[in-house]
Structure 1
Amino acid sequence: MRIMVTGRNGQVGWELRRALAPLGEVVAFDRHEADLSKPETLASVIASVQPQVIVNAAAYTAVDKAEEEEGLAHRINADAVGVIAEAARKQHALLVHYSTDYVFDGASKNPYREDDPIAPLNAYGRTKLAGERAIEATGGDWLTLRTTWVFGLRGRNFLRTIMRIARERDTLRVVADQIGAPTSARMISDLTAHVVAHAQRERREGKFEPGVFNMTAAGETSWHGFADAIVATARELQGDVIKAAVVEPITSDAYPTPARRPQYSILDNEKFDRRFGLARMDWRQGLALTIDDLAAQ
């Protein structure tokens, strides 16, 4: 089985190369080789690979910058995704795509189910929703996996930022009124590998159905709780390197950003668990494993 992966140098793309390798030949492309900002170039790239599976881990993810660059974000997160979906359909390939909790407005007090009303608060959320709809409109065999608060060993993410400033400052001030499930890129990639294997069996047996699935770590916390756990875990491993002694909780109003964020980003994973029969680790386990990996590096 030949599996094409986009965004190979990103948080999830980097991990996917390892996780998918046991399933077959992984052909991974970086942003220069498969440039989603140039959707018109993608069909020929996919045709040259002739994959049985495409995992699209490339995206425009700069949430605040998207407020100024919504056109570019839409081209990458929606227009290009539609092209990939059409190419996958023509290739009779399974498409696995990632989306986000940001398609919801965060006003709920209960975990969001896949079919709950969608109402993005920001440009990033709007463009990711447009990508979901482009896939659905194209048809074929596809799975869209919505996840939240992704962190990992590479790229710009909350874990790496907190690790850096915890070495520089005595006190950190972190938003405590936004709730979510920090989900490691390592876990996302491992679950994706199982999903691909399961979906390919379903396809061979004529039982496959496309759909959107929530796929996040178990448990929940705030950004403040996440930061506090990062600092505590890092201190256990790195001791005197960590300067921060206090992680102070603040409100969202005290830390204004160009893009509005949902205050509640917990997703209900029951549909995913039932379809794929997988256990999702708690976010604390994902954090511990990722910091162990960082320490090993």
Structure 2
Amino acid sequence: MTSLVFGGNGQVGQELLRALASLGAVQTTTRSGTLPDGRACLQADFADADAVVAVLDTVRPARVVNAAAYTAVDQAESDADAAHAANASTPGAIARWCAANGVPLVHYSTDYVFDGAGTRPYRPEDPTAPLGVYGASKLAGEDAIRAAGGRHLIFRTAWVYAAHGQNFLRTMLRVGAERDVLRVVADQIGTPTPAALIADVTARVLQQGTDASGTWHLTAAGETSWHGFAQAIFDDAVARGLISRAPTVEAITTADYPTPAKRPAYSRLDTDSLQRDFGIELPQWRDALGDVLDTLAAAQR
């Protein structure tokens, strides 16, 4: 049974290539037709839904996992057409193909579908109210997938990072080694979530062979701020010898760091239904961070 992963060069996509290998053959796509390590793969540009569907017709996969997305949150504010093409129109076309061919679809969405005005972790059934183009485009993608009528598993996640790629963890390690003082937003609350955890949970759910269809929240457990995440990164990185000393991390407000796109102030996601429905226990975010830093430390030995 072949799994087709769209977006094999992204943080989650790269981890999916590893995690899904236990389920059988895996094929993947990138926009360029090349993976980060230089290997060739299938080419699929999410700006062209017809070309993406043509890949599906060629591969005829037993399952589809869509890890491709337009994730430039600020750029999306001035590039709405591209964001909606990648995050809504093309996922909708994939979902319609999957529905017509009886193929299950896994798709990833985001905490940005919520406005962040809540005071408790958001449940999957809570009302959505995205603050910007990125969140709106991801919500439109969810709606298009549901409307297609096929079996789908939508996993909303948040604050994704990995030992590879461009993300908050790697940025902090780089700039923390260069500067004595960093200023990091402390009034946005969420849950840092490793891409490897997302991929591993996806593989476990698919391995169960469940016929479930719907929307679940998939993050690590607990919550912190970006400031708290940064401080934990530096403390744990020093302990593992990844950096020689931790910079001072000053707490600032969102108003001190204006961006084109508004971020939700509170976007912790309630994962109870995921854990209940699939019998999965999720790690605390700080423990999960340690696992990723262990991977980085091992690679430097």
| TM-score, normalisation: structure 1 | 0.95
Aligned to 1:79: 89
Tell me by how many angstroms 1:296 deviates.
Answer: 2.2
The CA distance in 2 between the partners of 1:74 and 1:154, in whole Å, is: 26
Aligned to 2:16: 16
Mapping for residues 193-272 of structure 1, pairs under 5 Å:
193-198=203-208, 201-202=209-210, 208-238=211-241, 241-272=243-274
Aligned to 1:176: 186
Aligned to 2:79: 69
The CA distance in 2 between the partners of 1:274 and 1:149, in whole Å, is: 23
Tell me by how many angstroms 1:233 deviates.
Answer: 1.0
Identity %: 52
Q: Runs of 4+ in structure 1 displaced over 3 angstroms? A: 241-244
Q: Which runs of 5+ in 1 are unaligned?
A: 203-207
2:199 pairs, out of 189, 195, 199, with 189
| TM-score, normalisation: structure 2 | 0.94
Query: What is the RMSD computed on CA atoms of the aligned residues?
Result: 1.1
**Residue 59 of structure 2 is aligned to residue 49 of structure 1:** yes
Aligned to 1:118: 128
**Residue 282 of structure 2 is aligned to residue 280 of structure 1:** yes
Q: Which runs of 5+ in 2 are unaligned?
A: 33-42
Partner SS state of residue 173, structure 1: strand
Tell me by how many angstroms 1:237 deviates.
Answer: 1.8
Partner SS state of residue 73, structure 2: coil
Q: Which deviates more from structure 2 when the two are superposed, residues 27-36 or residues 167-176?
A: 27-36
Please list the CA deviations of residues 10-33 of structure 1 after superposition, one character each: whole Å capped at 9, or x if unmatched. Answer: 100000011010111111111231
Please list the CA deviations of residues 240-295 of structure 1 after superposition, one character each: whole Å capped at 9, or x if unmatched. Answer: x4454311111110011110000001111111111101011111111111111122
The CA distance in 1 between the partners of 2:127 and 2:150, in whole Å, is: 24
1:93 pairs, out of 81, 103, 126, with 103
Q: Quick one: which amino acid aligns to residue 74 of structure 1? A: H
The CA distance in 1 between the partners of 2:244 and 2:178, in whole Å, is: 8
Aligned to 2:36: none
Aligned to 1:108: 118
Please list the CA deviations of residues 208-239 of structure 1 after superposition, one character each: whole Å capped at 9, or x if unmatched. Answer: 23101011100110000000000111111226
Please list the CA deviations of residues 174-220 of structure 1 after superposition, one character each: whole Å capped at 9, or x if unmatched. Answer: 0000000100001000001011112xx23xxxxx2310101110011
The CA distance in 2 between the partners of 1:232 and 1:224, in whole Å, is: 12
The CA distance in 2 between the partners of 1:244 and 1:254, in whole Å, is: 23
**Residue 165 of structure 2 is aligned to residue 155 of structure 1:** yes
Distance 1:209 1:191, change over 3 A: closer
Q: Quick one: which amino acid aligns to residue 212 of structure 2? A: E
